[in-house]
Amino acid sequence: MIKVAATNYSIIKETIERAPTFVYSILDQVIEGTIYADNESLQSLLFQTKSGIYYVYGDSPSEQVVSKLAALRQQSIEERKRFTLFSFSDDWNAKIEQQLDGHVKKLERYTFTFAKNAYNDRERRELLDYEITKIKQPQIEHSLEFDNQYYDEYWDSTNNFLENGFGFCLQHGDKIISEAVSIFKSHQLAEVDIVTDPSYRGKGLASFIAETFIDYCLFNDIQPCWDCDIHNHASYQLGTKLGFSNPQKYAVYTKS
């Protein structure tokens, strides 16, 4: 295995067909990460974030890449760190499950395509009782879920998020009741993560805060991205209401 030099990131970005948003975050060097290849041709790739999130890519599974993954999984156990592996390919899935049988468990998620016309044509309603605020450090200190530890994990640091990411929250008085933040972002893409206070659910707050996030994306020429667990029916339905369609299933592997 070789470590890919950052000078080759632009080449990979031009040739890669489909990948999770965090892959483009690495390629744009918005977050810290490492890219491995099985050889100089860069045909089979392994992307790694600093926090232990991985993605495999290539036309055919590579024995070297899967062996590297096995070593990284073992290292994550020894160091008590995260190991989360994304794969969009059935061939890669079969190879991973064959080589790591009994050592990983498989989850399935959907990734969607955003239809701007469908989003713009949907009926919208105003929320008059709540204040909307762009997330900065004071909001992070009182966040429902997206605290400093969250940004350390996904953004390397809170400061990096505040500089290169974005998010919004709804407040009822001084209380934050719903939030939408970019869990990952590249120069062209932003994947949303949403949380709502359980006592305020059923009021359309998640839809409203998601619209605020999407509107910001469109104003700034950023493509909004929506992914969810296949069993998260509420997220699936909300995404489709907001113009996200054509769900494509992919696999996520974690330590068993």
Mean confidence (pLDDT) of the chain = 96
User: Is the Cβ–Cβ distance between 182 and 192 less than 8 Å?
Assistant: yes
Average of per-residue pLDDT across 31-43? 94
Domains 2-101 and 114-246 share a fold: yes
User: Is the Cβ–Cβ distance between 226 and 57 less than 8 Å?
Assistant: no
Give 81-107 as a DSSP string.
---EEEE--HHHHHHHHHHSTTTEEEE
Q: Which CATH class is domain 114-246?
A: alpha beta
User: Is the Cβ–Cβ distance between 63 and 94 less than 8 Å?
Assistant: no
User: Is the Cβ–Cβ distance between 228 and 235 less than 8 Å?
Assistant: yes
Per domain, the residue ranges of the chain are: 2-101, 114-246
- pTM here is 0.95
Residue range 130-172, pLDDT digits in tens: 999 999 999 999 999 999 999 999 999 999 999 999 999 999 9
Name the CATH code of domain 2-101 (choices 3.30.310, 3.30.70, 3.40.630, 2.160.20): 3.40.630
Task: Say how far apart CA 214 and CA 28 lie, in whole Å.
Answer: 21
Task: Say how far apart CA 83 and CA 87 lie, in whole Å.
Answer: 13
Please report, for residues 6, 36, 72, the alpha-carbon distance to residue 62 in angstroms, rounded to integers and kept in the order given. Answer: 22, 12, 15
Q: Does pLDDT of 72 surpass 90?
A: yes
